[in-house]
Amino acid sequence: MDDKIIEFVGLLRQNGLRVSLSENMDGFRAARLVGLRDRLAFKDALRAAVVKREVDTSSFDELFDLYFGGMGQMIKASADSIMGALEIDAATFQELLDKLAEILKDLDIDLSEVAKHLLSNDTGQIEKLLREAAKAAEANQIQRSFQEGRYSHAMAQAIGLGSLAEEMDALKIGLGEADLDPELLEKLKRLIDRRLQDLTDMIKRSVRMELEKQDHSLRETQRIQTLAEKSFYYLSEDEIRRMKEAVTKLAQRLKNVVSVRRRQAKRGKFDLKATLRKNLQYGGVPFKIQFDRRVKDKPQVMVLCDVSDSVRNVSRFMLQFVYSLQDLYSRVRSFIFVSELGEVTRLFEEQDINDAIEQALTGGIINVFAHSDFGRAFRSFHREFIAAVNNRTTVIVLGDARNNYNLPHEWVLKEVQIRAKQVIWLNPENRLTWGFGDSEMDRYLPYCDVVEECRNLNQLYRVIDRMVR
């Protein structure tokens, strides 16, 4: 079993789950403690030992079922399909197998190990044969669906399907020459034909399962990308739940990219002028290479999120995204507003991120059912928090700028831009609607360094990526 756990952990790592050596050892101990009799208990124990992030749980469950349950379920399904074809129940099927075993013994027919396991429906040995054949054929190297035929052929050769087919034909001839009841003989011949066909199908399905294992991370990425392109406005309840996972995964990907950039930046860029000055004593021959080692400070971020009903989903994921990335910043402060302005920084520090967001969006901090008034909210921000904005601060405003014909007070944004490193405005509405009706976007535009349409997660991701670069 230890070998299977090692192989399974390798599959997890291959699909993006981070499992350390110590967690691998915890998996061994968990398997020994709970045993293998109760599959669900074994699955839960192994998950508790190796999965450290909630977003990886669904991937673990899917890969566990593929690795530990997929082959057994496939073999059981093939037996069920034979019973359906012969129109018999499980008890009658077993009697038929026992009868065949007796006849073979009486006729003194010597079969290969593969034929014996197949005709006795020894599921454990059949699974072992398939796994060994898959290993011999290197089926775990499959990458694309068009390769299935090639690996299926290699597995069939490893099992010896060609000689097995000849053996089964000879067996049917031998049974035909024996003095058997015609009805029983017909059933046995159909059983032999079906078993041979089933083995062929099981080989193909085994290759397909290997492809699904290898392809899991690709399918997961495609699923996230499909969701990430969907407008925040049209998410269902189930999609909102899955979007939370997608936000966390995209944020993790961005953190990985930024960490690589920072590792590369530690050495600094090649400084030509400094290198030439340093090597004047050597006649300009660059014996000593100089690098620009200036280290940039982490930025500070202040996020002002409109949480009125029309943009609430956008605000939800904006806050989650920024807080998933907060270790990339020296300081993150978040505010929500509709007409009133309220700071939610401490709320996020003291509570789970999802609980904090729900409390912020359901009226726990400000009245979220009021009519939008950007001007009033901006004046409150200027009165209470403008002193906290400095040349290291990036101010992000997320809102549709629909002000219900109230005074926009754009002068606040002008002063913020003067003091801040940059002002970014993310608007979830289509650009073609900006400045029409009660939209004050045209008044706010001149005082923003970056203004972007932000209607889905990919657009949000690109803006944050540019911001932390």
**pLDDT tens digits, 415-438:** 999 999 989 898 888 888 898 999
CATH topology of domain 238-468: Rossmann fold (3.40.50)
Q: How confident is the model over 330-353, as a mean pLDDT?
A: 86
Tens digits of residue pLDDT in 391-407: 889 898 988 999 999 99
Residue 47: partners with Cβ closer than 8 Å, 6 or more residues away: 57, 60, 61, 64
Which pLDDT value is given to residue 467?
A: 65
Query: 40-54, 63-77, 401-415, 427-441: lowest mean pLDDT where?
Result: 63-77
Which pLDDT value is given to residue 464?
A: 72
* Domain locations in the chain as residue ranges: 53-225, 238-468
Q: How confident is the model over 80-92, as a mean pLDDT?
A: 79
Gap between the Cα atoms of 121 and 118, Å rounded = 5
Tens digits of residue pLDDT in 191-242: 888 888 888 888 888 887 777 766 555 555 566 666 667 777 667 666 676 6
* CA-based nearest residue to 360, from 319, 415, 331, 403: 319
Q: Is residue 172 pLDDT above 80, yes or no?
A: yes
Query: 1-15, 168-182, 207-221, 310-324: lowest mean pLDDT where?
Result: 207-221
Q: Give Rg (Cα) of the chain.
A: 33
**Residue 308 exposure: Cα atoms within 13 Å on the Cβ side:** 19
Average pLDDT, the chain: 79
In this structure, which long-range contacts are made by residues 440-445, counting pairs with CB atoms below 8 Å and at least 24 apart in sequence? 440/374, 440/401, 440/402, 440/403, 440/408, 440/410, 441/401, 443/408, 443/410, 444/374, 444/397, 444/401, 444/408, 444/410, 444/413
Which pLDDT value is given to residue 9?
A: 76
Query: 51-60, 227-236, 305-314: lowest mean pLDDT where?
Result: 227-236
Which pLDDT value is given to residue 267?
A: 55
